[in-house]
Amino acid sequence: MCCHSNAHDRAELQEMLAYVRDGDKVRVKSPDRLARSTTDLLALVEQLKAKGVALKFVDNPALNSDTPQGEFMLTVLAAIAQLERKTIRERQVESIAIAKQDGKYEKAPKLALDQIDEARERVNAGVPKALVARDLGVSRQTLYAALNGAGKYAKDDSA
């Protein structure tokens, strides 16, 4: 398991992670000094554990990774972080569904009317649709929808 981008932005932390060896003990004042989030903390704990490195928290020995109690507490934190991630994902799915229902999640068509006219002329002149789509930087499916006036390219009579 790799660390999150926050950990990658911290040169001294990366240097320490590269330096530690099996049997080493890393002493940290508190969990918030090691990581900015529970997810980052757990990723770092796993990375150190994989190297055989024990983690000791000066201000909170209950989280020390080399004791059964500390391992339990870190497992509970991992479960909470996982629940939090799943809850966030559920909320995102719900929000996207609501936005789609309200018409706020529509992507703009990839082809403008003049591009569609140009594509139609080229196709009528015998240029393969796959080549026309590639030249326009769109999929063949998008080109077909635009040429047939389907999907986002359907005529809107309300305008």
Cα distance between residue 99 and residue 121, in whole Å: 37
- Looking at 3.30.70.20, 3.40.50.1390, 3.30.465.10, 3.40.50.620, the CATH number of the domain 5-101 comes to 3.40.50.1390
Cα distance between residue 14 and residue 151, in whole Å: 49
Q: Encode pLDDT of 86-128 as tens digits.
A: 999 999 999 988 888 887 777 778 898 999 999 999 999 999 9
Q: Is the pTM of this model over 0.85?
A: no
pLDDT at 2: 44
Ordered by start, the domain boundaries in the chain are 5-101, 113-150
Cα distance between residue 49 and residue 46, in whole Å: 5
- Residue 63 DSSP one-character state: G
Q: Encode pLDDT of 18-62 as tens digits.
A: 999 999 999 999 888 888 777 888 889 889 999 999 999 998 888
